[in-house]
A and B are shown apart, each in its own frame.
Chain A
C-alpha cells in the first residue's frame, strides 16, 4: 500500500513538473503590442508610413497654438473676456509662466519633434534594406520631415528666443548641452534646409501626387528665408525667396476671400499648409483643428446648427482703422467679421461714413450677432456655414490652416531688398504690386521699407503672429504700445513655462552660461 502511494506520488510530481516547466517559455511572450523592432523594414512599400505619421503629428496642433503665436501683435487682441484671463494678460505683455498655454505650446511642439525624430530613425532602418530607388525615396522623406521639424523649432525660437535643438528621440544628451541661442537655432534651420533642398521634389506642394500638399524644395527655401529673416541676413532672405519666385511655379490665388475657405485649399499660392478634412462625409473619420476660439460667440448661420465660436481672437480696432484709412475692401472683409456693436464703436470713433461692406453680414450670408466677449472676429479662420459638410457642425470644421503662402514670400523678398539686399529675381516694386493687385489696390513704385511693412500688415494680419515678429525684429515697440499697452524690449519673449523649469535637468544650463535665459534657468533651478 505504501509503495503504491509512493509511485502515485512520483507520478503526480512528474505530471506537475512537466506541465509547469513547459509553461516557463511563456515568460518571453509579449502579446498585444507592436514594437518598433517588429516592423518589416525590408518592405519598401511601407516606407511611406512613418512619413504620413510625421504629417499627422504636424496636423495635431493644440488649439491654443495659433492663438498664442498671434495674440501679441497689434493686429489682434485677446477676446473671450471673462475667460482665460492670463491669455488676455499675455495680449497686454503681462506674462505668467504658470499659464497652461505656454506650457502646452512648448510641450506639443517638442513632443512632435521627438516623434518626427523617431520617424526619421525608422526611415533610416528602411534605407538600410532599400534599393537605389528606395534610398532616394527615404532621403526625400527624411528631408520632408526635417522641414516640418524645422518649422517647429522656428516657432519655439521665435517665442522663447533660446531653446533646445532636438534631433534625436532620446534627448538626454541634447538636453545636457543646454539651450541654443536663437541665432544658433535659425542657423541650424538654414543648414538643415540646405541639405533638404537637395533631396526634395522640384515642384509646388499641390503638384505632388504621392503626398498632395506635402513639403517640396520650395517649402524648404521658404523656411530658410524665414530663418534668415529672423537673423536679419537680408541677402540670404532675398536669395532664398528669390529662388521660389524665379521658379515661376507659384502664383497668388485670385480670390483673396476664398483663399481662406475651402476653394482656396492647396492652391498654387500654398507653400506649407496643414490639412484637415472630414472627407465630405456626414459621419466617420475626421481630423479637425479646433477653430472655435477664433469664431464669434453668437451668430445666425445660413446653414442651421452650424456652431458659433468662443470669441477669443479679436482683430484690433487699430488694424481695422488702418485698413479703412487705406480704403482696403477685399482684405478687410476677408480678415474681419464685424458685429453691430463693433461697427457702432467705430462710428463713435469718427468713422461715421463707413462703406457698406462693413456689415455684420459676411459675404457668405452668415449674420454675426453682438456678444459680450468681443466686437470683431477673425475672418481668416472663418469658414462660411454653407461650406460645412452636411451633418458637421463644428465651427470652421475641416478648414485647412495655411502656414506659409506665396504672398508672404513676395513681401519678405521685397522687405529684404528695401533693406539693402540685391535683387536676385524680380524687383521689390514688382513683388509688392503682385500682392496689391489681387487686393484691388493701386500699384506702388519706389516702394519703401515702411510701405512693405504696411503691406504685410494689410496682407498677413491674424496669421500666426507674422505682424508681431516683424515688429519686434525692427524694435517697433511704439507700434506695439497701442490701446493703453506698453511694450518694452523685455517683453519680446515669453518666459519659460514653470513646468519646464521644474522638469529640465540643472545640467541644461551647463554649457552656454552667458545667455540671460540661462541665467534665469540657473536662478530658478
Chain B
C-alpha cells in the first residue's frame, strides 16, 4: 500500500516534465499478487530502448514517446503490452502462464520447446523437489513421475534405486544415466536439491537415443540454477531441521513366544538353551517357565536421528556475465544406534561470460565434501535373530570387555548374536569428495543460426574409506583383535564433446540440425590395505595404518584399476511445419572398449508428432486448448557391463607349502564374447491441455524390448555366473498423468494431480538351451523363464496346512514324504500325484505391476498446504530374514510368525507349526516365504506460511512430515526392497522437519 502511495506521488511530480517530445517513463512490474518481479524485460517495440526490472520490480525507460508500444516479458508469465500515454508511471501486473508449452526443455546436446516434443519426457518442477527433506535429489521424485520407480534407501547418504520403465537387464547394467549440466554421472549424491533448476526424465528411446550407449536405462537431465542477465544479486537462505524415526517397526517374538516356539519345536537342545537362560538370568515371576529377560532387539538398536540442511545462495548478472554461487550444508543422523550419519558441504559456482558478441564461455563447478559413517547393516540381521532371552548387558559375563555385553554362546547357541558388538566396536567412515567441473566455449558462426560449442568436463571422485574394528572380548574365549582397513578409490571421468547446431526457419518451416562428437575416458583405481593389532587403538588420532603390526599387511594390500574409453558420433534433426507436424530424428554411432569383438554400435531413432489442436476443425474449440498426438521409435545400447567377461583372467594366490607362503596363479576359465545389449522401444502418447489450461493430461503407452539382454548365466560344473547375451526382455506399460489447477478466488487456489503407471515385465526369449536362467542362491531360487518376469521368485505354491492325521492319511503326498499335521500343503501343479521339482512355479516378481502417486494442494492467503501420496501393487518380497531359518533354526523370529504358527487343528491354514518350521519340507521356497509387497503411503505433508511485509525480507516458514504413514501387510520394516530380497534392509524412516526460507 505504501508503495502505491509513493508511486502516486512520483506520478504527480513527474507530470511537470510533460512538455518534452521524448520523455522518461518508469514503473513497476508485479505478479497477480502484487509481488514485484525482478529481472522482467521491458522493451519498446521497434526501438532499441530496453530495461530489466531491478530487485523491487522497478524499471525506467528513457527517450520514449507517447504512443510507443512497450512489451513486458517474464519467464513463466503471459507477456503483456502497454502503450505509453501521458502518464509516466505504469504499474503492470503480469499473469502467470498456465500454459507451459512454450517452456524450453533440455533434451541432450540442445533444447526444444515443450510443444514440439515427440517423445516421452517428464519435467519435474524444482518446487516439487524442494519439498522433500532429503540429501539425495532422486528420493524426492518417488511417486511424482509416471513410469519411474524409485526405491528409497533409509541409510543416510545412500542413493535410491531408480528404474525407468521397468527392468530389461540386471546387475550394474541397470543404473540410470544422469546428465548434470551436460556431464555424465551414474550417481548424483553430491547435488543439493536447492541448486537444481529442473529435472527432465527422458523415458522413451527416441528422446534418450542421443546418449546412445549410456541411455539404455533412461536418462535424467538435471540443470542447476543459473543467474539472469541484468539482475540485481538475489540472496536466498533456506534451512530446515528435524528428526527421523523408524516407522512400522517389526515386532519380534518376545521371550514368552520364543520359549513356546522352542518348546513346541521338539528339539531338546533348544529347550535346554531356554533352561540355560533361566539358570543364568533367573526365572520370570510372571511365567516361571521362561527366563526373567525379555529383550526387544529392534527397540534396542533403533534411535531417533537429527536431520538438518542449510543453503545460502546468490545469483545475478550484468550485461555480459551471469552467475550463480552458493554453499550448502546437509547433515543427517541414521536411526541405527551407532556412529551412523551423513554430512555434506557443497560449494558451487556457475559463471557464463560473453567474451564478444559471438563468443561465449562458461565455467561450472561443484565441489562436494561429505563424510558418511556407514551402518553395520548386519546388525539389522543380528537383531532379528538374537534371542529375546538374552539381555544387552550381562554383568555375569566378566570376561567381556571393554563392555560387558551378553553372548548367546554362553547359553549354548552357535553365534554370539548380540548386535551391539558390531554397533559399538565397528566404525565405517567414508570421506566422499566429488568435483564436477566443466568449461565450454561457444562460437556463433552465423549469428542466431549456426554455432559450435565445445565442452570439456571432468568429474573426479575420491572415496576414502576407513573401517575400524576395535578390539574386544565377549566371553566364551571370543576375542577380536583390532584392525583398520583403508581403501582409497579414485574415479576420474573425462568427457570432451563438440556440437555443431544449426537453427533456421523459413516460411512455415522450422528446422534444427545438430551434429557432434563425444570422447569418453573413464578411469578408476582402488588401493586398499588392512592392518591388525593397532598400537594406541583407544585414540582416534592413532587410527592410521602406521600404527599397525607391519607383518599384518602381508597379503592384505591390493590395488585394482580399470580404464574404459568410448567414442561417439551423433546427429539430430528436428523439424516442424506450421507448428502442426513435427518430425524428430537422431542417430548415434558408439564405440566402446568394453566389447572385444566389435566395439561399434549404431543407434537410430525417429519421432513424429501432430498438433491436432492447430488444425482448422479444432481451432474454435472452447474446451481443448492444446491437443497433440505423438509416436516414436528408437534403439539404444548398453555398455554398462563387466568388461572382463570378454576374456580369461588370472588371479594371484598364496598357499602354504611346508609352512612357507608360496605364490601361484589361478585363472577363471569362463568368458563370453558379448555383443551389444540393444533396447528397442516404441512409444505412443498424447498431451491435452483443456479448460483454459486448467486441466492437463499426458498419456503414454510403450513397448520396450531389450534384445540380447546381458544376464548373469550360471555355468554348472564351472560354478560361476557369467554375463552373457541371453534373452529378450519386454517391458510394456501405460502411463497416465492428469493435473487440475484452478484459482477460485483471489485468496484461494487449489490443484490436484494424479499419476498412474502399469508395468508388465516379461521374458520373450531365452537364449539358453535349458529354456530358463536361474539366479539367486540355490535355496532362494529366482528364475527367468519365457513368459515370466525377469528374475521371478521360483518355488512351490502353498495351499494350506495339514490339520489332522486323517488328512495326512488321505493324502498320498503326505504319506510319501512322512508329513505330519502342521506341515504345509503344496499344490500339485502338474497333477501327477507327487510333489516334486516339476511343481515349482513362478511366484511373482519384485517389480510392481502398478504404481500410482498424487498430490493435493491449496493456498489460502498466506498459507499453503500440500499432501502427496504414493502406492504400488503387484510386487513380491522374499522375506529372507524368515527364510534363513533353513541355516540356523534355534534363533529368534518375528512375533507374527510365532503367534500365527499352526499349533493344533484349526489354528492356522497358512503358517506351519514350530516343528514344521524346522523341517526341510516346509523350508523349501514357497509363497509362504514370498510375500506381497503392496503398499500405500502418505508421502509428504507440508504446511507453510508466507510472510510478506514491508521492512522484512520475504520469508516462508514451513512444516514438513515426510513419509509419515505407510500401510502394508508385509512382515518387514518396509516394503521398499530394491531387489525384492529382504535380508538386512535399512528401514526407511519418517522425517519431521521445520524450515524457513528467506529471500532478500
Bound-complex Cα distance A89 to B443 (A): 78
- Asked whether A31 is an interface residue with its Cβ less than 8 Å from the other chain, the reply is yes
Are B644 and A33 in contact, CB atoms less than 8 angstroms apart? yes
- Asked whether B691 is an interface residue with its Cβ less than 8 Å from the other chain, the reply is no
Q: Which residue of the partner chain B has the closest CB to A26?
A: B565
Are B479 and A393 in contact, CB atoms less than 8 angstroms apart? yes
Give the size range of B's interface with the partner: 35 or more
Residue-wise, chain A 496-515 has the 8 Å CB interface mask toward B (1 for contact) of 01111111111100000000
B533 neighbours in A (Cβ, 8 Å): 282-283, 391
Q: Which residue of the partner chain B has the closest CB to A6?
A: B445
Are A37 and B648 in contact, CB atoms less than 8 angstroms apart? yes
Bound-complex Cα distance A170 to B668 (A): 11
Q: Which residue of the partner chain B has the closest CB to A209?
A: B658
Are B920 and A86 in contact, CB atoms less than 8 angstroms apart? yes
Bound-complex Cα distance A107 to B720 (A): 9
Bound-complex Cα distance A136 to B778 (A): 43
Give the interface segment out of B118-126, B158-166, B548-556, B579-587. B548-556
Give the shortest distance, in Å, between A281 (CB) and chain B (any CB). Answer: 5
CB proximity to A under 8 Å, residues B441-479? 443, 445-446, 452, 454, 473, 476-479
Bound-complex Cα distance A257 to B650 (A): 41
Are A118 and B667 in contact, CB atoms less than 8 angstroms apart? yes
CB proximity to A under 8 Å, residues B895-937? 918-920, 923-924
Give the shortest distance, in Å, between B818 (CB) and chain A (any CB). Answer: 8
**A-B residue pair count with CB separations less than 8 angstroms:** 303
Known A-B contacts A83-B889, A507-B769; the reply to A275 vs B658 at CB < 8 A is yes
Give the interface segment out of B269-277, B611-619, B704-712. B269-277
Q: Which residue of the partner chain A has the closest CB to B523?
A: A31
Are B657 and A212 in contact, CB atoms less than 8 angstroms apart? yes
B548 neighbours in A (Cβ, 8 Å): 283
Are B718 and A111 in contact, CB atoms less than 8 angstroms apart? yes
Bound-complex Cα distance A435 to B593 (A): 64
Bound-complex Cα distance A279 to B454 (A): 59
Are B643 and A30 in contact, CB atoms less than 8 angstroms apart? yes
Q: Which residue of the partner chain A has the closest CB to B779?
A: A100
Are B650 and A39 in contact, CB atoms less than 8 angstroms apart? yes
Q: Which residue of the partner chain A has the closest CB to B568?
A: A20
- Asked whether B496 is an interface residue with its Cβ less than 8 Å from the other chain, the reply is yes
Bound-complex Cα distance A308 to B478 (A): 8
Known A-B contacts A56-B664, A211-B657, A304-B477; the reply to A503 vs B517 at CB < 8 A is no
Are B556 and A52 in contact, CB atoms less than 8 angstroms apart? no
B837 neighbours in A (Cβ, 8 Å): 498, 501-502, 524
B920 neighbours in A (Cβ, 8 Å): 85-86, 89, 96, 98-99
Give the shortest distance, in Å, between A431 (CB) and chain B (any CB). Answer: 29
Known A-B contacts A114-B717, A212-B657; the reply to A19 vs B496 at CB < 8 A is yes
B778 neighbours in A (Cβ, 8 Å): 98, 100, 103, 497-499
Are A30 and B593 in contact, CB atoms less than 8 angstroms apart? yes
Bound-complex Cα distance A281 to B521 (A): 44
Are B517 and A53 in contact, CB atoms less than 8 angstroms apart? no
B443 neighbours in A (Cβ, 8 Å): 8, 12
Are B647 and A83 in contact, CB atoms less than 8 angstroms apart? no
Bound-complex Cα distance A209 to B432 (A): 50
Bound-complex Cα distance A169 to B479 (A): 42
A450 neighbours in B (Cβ, 8 Å): none
- Asked whether A51 is an interface residue with its Cβ less than 8 Å from the other chain, the reply is yes
Residue-wise, chain A 94-111 has the 8 Å CB interface mask toward B (1 for contact) of 001011100100011011
Known A-B contacts A29-B593, A83-B888, A83-B889; the reply to A284 vs B663 at CB < 8 A is no
Give the shortest distance, in Å, between B382 (CB) and chain A (any CB). Answer: 16
**Which of A122, A171, A283, A524 is within 8 Å of B718, CB to CB?**
A171
- Asked whether B887 is an interface residue with its Cβ less than 8 Å from the other chain, the reply is yes
- Asked whether B567 is an interface residue with its Cβ less than 8 Å from the other chain, the reply is yes
**Which of B551, B662, B717, B888 is within 8 Å of A52, CB to CB?**
B662
Known A-B contacts A52-B662, A81-B269; the reply to A27 vs B654 at CB < 8 A is no
Are A284 and B563 in contact, CB atoms less than 8 angstroms apart? no
**Which of A80, A98, A308 is within 8 Å of B476, CB to CB?**
A308
B919 neighbours in A (Cβ, 8 Å): 85
**Which of B519, B664, B777 is within 8 Å of A20, CB to CB?**
B519
Bound-complex Cα distance A201 to B356 (A): 84
**Which of B498, B599, B654, B669 is within 8 Å of A118, CB to CB?**
B669
Are A53 and B664 in contact, CB atoms less than 8 angstroms apart? yes
Are B667 and A110 in contact, CB atoms less than 8 angstroms apart? no
B592 neighbours in A (Cβ, 8 Å): 27
**Which of A84, A283, A310, A371 is within 8 Å of B532, CB to CB?**
A283
Give the size range of A's interface with the partner: 35 or more
- Asked whether B299 is an interface residue with its Cβ less than 8 Å from the other chain, the reply is no
A82 neighbours in B (Cβ, 8 Å): 267, 269-270, 273, 413, 889-890
Bound-complex Cα distance A504 to B498 (A): 51
A507 neighbours in B (Cβ, 8 Å): 769
Bound-complex Cα distance A450 to B979 (A): 58
- Asked whether A225 is an interface residue with its Cβ less than 8 Å from the other chain, the reply is no
- Asked whether B836 is an interface residue with its Cβ less than 8 Å from the other chain, the reply is yes
Bound-complex Cα distance A113 to B666 (A): 12
Are A506 and B479 in contact, CB atoms less than 8 angstroms apart? no
Are B769 and A9 in contact, CB atoms less than 8 angstroms apart? no
Are B770 and A505 in contact, CB atoms less than 8 angstroms apart? yes
Bound-complex Cα distance A297 to B409 (A): 8
- Asked whether A285 is an interface residue with its Cβ less than 8 Å from the other chain, the reply is yes
**Which of B566, B650, B655 is within 8 Å of A56, CB to CB?**
B655
Give the shortest distance, in Å, between A363 (CB) and chain B (any CB). Answer: 20
Are A283 and B552 in contact, CB atoms less than 8 angstroms apart? yes
**Which of B663, B669, B886 is within 8 Å of A170, CB to CB?**
B669
- Asked whether B562 is an interface residue with its Cβ less than 8 Å from the other chain, the reply is yes
Are B567 and A23 in contact, CB atoms less than 8 angstroms apart? yes
Are B560 and A32 in contact, CB atoms less than 8 angstroms apart? yes
A59 neighbours in B (Cβ, 8 Å): 655-656
Bound-complex Cα distance A57 to B592 (A): 35
Are A114 and B650 in contact, CB atoms less than 8 angstroms apart? no
- Asked whether B714 is an interface residue with its Cβ less than 8 Å from the other chain, the reply is yes
Greatest chain A CB density within 10 A among B270, B649, B655, B781 is at B655
Bound-complex Cα distance A218 to B456 (A): 67
- Asked whether A266 is an interface residue with its Cβ less than 8 Å from the other chain, the reply is yes
A442 neighbours in B (Cβ, 8 Å): none
Q: Which residue of the partner chain A has the closest CB to B919?
A: A85
Give the shortest distance, in Å, between A310 (CB) and chain B (any CB). Answer: 5
Bound-complex Cα distance A401 to B278 (A): 40
Residue-wise, chain A 12-39 has the 8 Å CB interface mask toward B (1 for contact) of 1000100110011011111111111111
Bound-complex Cα distance A278 to B48 (A): 86
Are B477 and A35 in contact, CB atoms less than 8 angstroms apart? no
- Asked whether B47 is an interface residue with its Cβ less than 8 Å from the other chain, the reply is no
Known A-B contacts A287-B656, A297-B412, A393-B477; the reply to A175 vs B452 at CB < 8 A is no
B769 neighbours in A (Cβ, 8 Å): 505-507
Chain A residues within CB distance 8 Å of chain B: 5-6, 8-9, 12, 16, 19-20, 23-24, 26-39, 48-57, 59, 80-86, 89, 96, 98-100, 103, 107-108, 110-111, 113-115, 117-119, 122, 164, 166, 169-171, 175, 211-214, 266, 275-277, 279-285, 287, 297-299, 301, 304-308, 310, 371-373, 391, 393, 497-507, 523-524
Q: A111-B717, A275-B655 are in contact. List 18 more A-B contacts (CB 8 A).
A: A19-B519, A29-B565, A32-B560, A32-B562, A50-B665, A53-B664, A56-B654, A81-B269, A82-B889, A86-B886, A113-B717, A114-B719, A115-B666, A282-B551, A284-B556, A498-B837, A500-B716, A505-B770
List, sorted by A's number, 23 A–B pairs whose CB atoms are closer than 8 Å. Answer: A6-B445, A12-B454, A27-B565, A27-B593, A33-B562, A36-B650, A37-B648, A49-B665, A82-B273, A83-B414, A83-B890, A98-B924, A110-B717, A114-B719, A118-B666, A118-B669, A211-B657, A276-B656, A284-B553, A310-B414, A499-B774, A503-B714, A504-B716
Chain B residues within CB distance 8 Å of chain A: 267-270, 272-273, 276, 409, 412-414, 443, 445-446, 452, 454, 473, 476-479, 481, 496, 498, 517, 519, 521, 523, 531-533, 548-549, 551-556, 560-567, 591-593, 596, 599, 643-644, 646-650, 653-670, 714, 716-720, 769-770, 774, 777-779, 781, 836-838, 886-890, 918-920, 923-924
